Amino acid sequence: GAGVSQSPRYKVAKRGQDVALRCDPISGHVSLFWYQQALGQGPEFLTYFQNEAQLDKSGLPSDRFFAERPEGSVSTLKIQRTQQEDSAVYLCASSFVGFQYEQYFGPGTRLTVT
Protein backbone atom coordinates (compact mmCIF):
# COMPACT_ATOMS: atom_id res chain seq x y z
CA GLY A 1 0.00 0.00 0.00
CA ALA A 2 0.96 3.64 -0.36
CA GLY A 3 0.36 4.75 3.22
CA VAL A 4 2.41 4.78 6.40
CA SER A 5 2.40 1.41 8.11
CA GLN A 6 3.24 0.55 11.69
CA SER A 7 3.82 -2.74 13.44
CA PRO A 8 2.77 -4.24 15.65
CA ARG A 9 -0.67 -2.66 15.88
CA TYR A 10 -1.01 -3.80 19.49
CA LYS A 11 1.66 -4.66 22.02
CA VAL A 12 1.28 -5.81 25.59
CA ALA A 13 4.45 -5.70 27.66
CA LYS A 14 5.16 -6.52 31.26
CA ARG A 15 6.69 -3.71 33.24
CA GLY A 16 10.45 -3.78 32.79
CA GLN A 17 10.44 -5.35 29.34
CA ASP A 18 11.96 -3.70 26.30
CA VAL A 19 9.79 -3.04 23.23
CA ALA A 20 10.50 -2.04 19.65
CA LEU A 21 7.93 -0.32 17.46
CA ARG A 22 8.39 -0.15 13.71
CA CYS A 23 7.35 2.49 11.21
CA ASP A 24 7.44 2.19 7.42
CA PRO A 25 6.97 5.67 5.93
CA ILE A 26 5.67 6.53 2.51
CA SER A 27 8.35 5.86 -0.07
CA GLY A 28 10.30 9.00 -0.90
CA HIS A 29 9.27 10.94 2.19
CA VAL A 30 12.29 12.60 3.69
CA SER A 31 10.85 13.46 7.09
CA LEU A 32 9.62 11.05 9.73
CA PHE A 33 8.01 11.89 13.04
CA TRP A 34 7.06 9.96 16.17
CA TYR A 35 4.26 11.05 18.49
CA GLN A 36 2.83 9.67 21.72
CA GLN A 37 -0.92 9.84 22.26
CA ALA A 38 -2.17 9.12 25.75
CA LEU A 39 -5.78 8.11 26.24
CA GLY A 40 -8.10 11.08 25.74
CA GLN A 41 -5.29 13.41 24.73
CA GLY A 42 -3.87 14.83 21.54
CA PRO A 43 -0.64 13.46 20.10
CA GLU A 44 2.55 14.82 21.61
CA PHE A 45 5.72 15.18 19.59
CA LEU A 46 8.56 12.82 20.46
CA THR A 47 11.20 13.04 17.77
CA TYR A 48 11.87 13.99 14.14
CA PHE A 49 14.16 12.62 11.44
CA GLN A 50 15.24 14.09 8.17
CA ASN A 51 16.59 11.15 6.20
CA GLU A 52 18.76 9.27 8.71
CA ALA A 53 19.55 12.33 10.81
CA GLN A 54 17.64 12.79 14.04
CA LEU A 55 17.17 16.55 14.04
CA ASP A 56 15.02 16.89 17.12
CA LYS A 57 14.54 14.53 20.03
CA SER A 58 13.37 17.09 22.52
CA GLY A 59 10.05 15.32 23.07
CA LEU A 60 11.47 11.99 24.21
CA PRO A 61 10.28 11.69 27.83
CA SER A 62 13.34 9.92 29.21
CA ASP A 63 16.57 8.22 28.23
CA ARG A 64 14.64 4.94 28.13
CA PHE A 65 13.26 6.09 24.79
CA PHE A 66 15.43 5.75 21.72
CA ALA A 67 14.63 6.13 18.04
CA GLU A 68 16.64 5.37 14.94
CA ARG A 69 16.32 5.51 11.18
CA PRO A 70 19.63 4.09 10.00
CA GLU A 71 19.01 4.04 6.25
CA GLY A 72 16.68 6.99 6.02
CA SER A 73 13.58 4.89 5.49
CA VAL A 74 12.21 2.52 8.14
CA SER A 75 12.34 3.79 11.70
CA THR A 76 12.23 2.00 15.03
CA LEU A 77 11.18 3.48 18.35
CA LYS A 78 12.61 1.51 21.24
CA ILE A 79 11.49 1.78 24.83
CA GLN A 80 13.66 0.14 27.44
CA ARG A 81 12.46 -1.07 30.83
CA THR A 82 8.86 -0.13 30.10
CA GLN A 83 6.77 1.44 32.83
CA GLN A 84 3.01 1.78 33.17
CA GLU A 85 3.10 5.44 32.24
CA ASP A 86 4.48 4.42 28.83
CA SER A 87 1.06 2.96 27.96
CA ALA A 88 -0.20 4.98 25.00
CA VAL A 89 -0.69 4.90 21.25
CA TYR A 90 2.54 5.62 19.40
CA LEU A 91 1.97 7.33 16.08
CA CYS A 92 4.38 7.62 13.20
CA ALA A 93 4.02 10.17 10.42
CA SER A 94 6.00 11.02 7.33
CA SER A 95 6.11 14.03 5.05
CA PHE A 96 7.86 15.19 1.95
CA VAL A 97 10.18 17.35 4.03
CA GLY A 98 9.78 19.27 7.25
CA PHE A 99 6.84 20.21 9.43
CA GLN A 100 5.08 22.55 7.04
CA TYR A 101 4.22 19.88 4.52
CA GLU A 102 1.30 17.59 5.19
CA GLN A 103 2.15 14.77 7.54
CA TYR A 104 0.67 11.39 6.69
CA PHE A 105 -0.01 9.33 9.77
CA GLY A 106 0.08 5.62 10.31
CA PRO A 107 -2.62 3.78 12.29
CA GLY A 108 -0.47 3.69 15.41
CA THR A 109 0.77 1.05 17.81
CA ARG A 110 -1.21 0.71 21.02
CA LEU A 111 1.21 -0.18 23.83
CA THR A 112 -0.16 -1.48 27.09
CA VAL A 113 2.27 -2.02 29.94
CA THR A 114 0.97 -4.30 32.69
Partner 1 sequence: AQSVTQLDSHVSVSEGTPVLLRCNYSSSYSPSLFWYVQHPNKGLQLLLKYTSAATLVKGINGFEAEFKKSETSFHLTKPSAHMSDAAEYFCVVSDRGNDMRFGAGTRLTVKP
Nearest distance, CB of residue 52 and partner 1, angstroms: 19
Nearer to partner 1, 4 or 32 (CB): 4
CB of 86 to partner 1, least distance (A): 19
For residue 38, the tally of other CB atoms under 10 A from its CB is 13
**Residues at the contact surface with partner 1, assessed by CB under 8 A:** 3-4, 33, 35, 40-45, 48, 56, 58-59, 91, 93, 98-100, 102-108
Smallest separation (angstroms) from partner 1 to the CB of 41: 6
Rounded Cα–Cα distance for residues 95 and 62 (Å): 26
Q: How far apart are CA 78 and CA 70, in angstroms?
A: 14
Closest CB to partner 1 among residues 49, 82: 49
Angstrom distance (rounded) from CA 49 to CA 29 = 11
Q: How far is the CB of 43 from partner 1 (least distance, A)?
A: 5
CA 9 from chain centre, in angstroms, equals 12
First vs last Cα of the chain: how many Å apart? 33
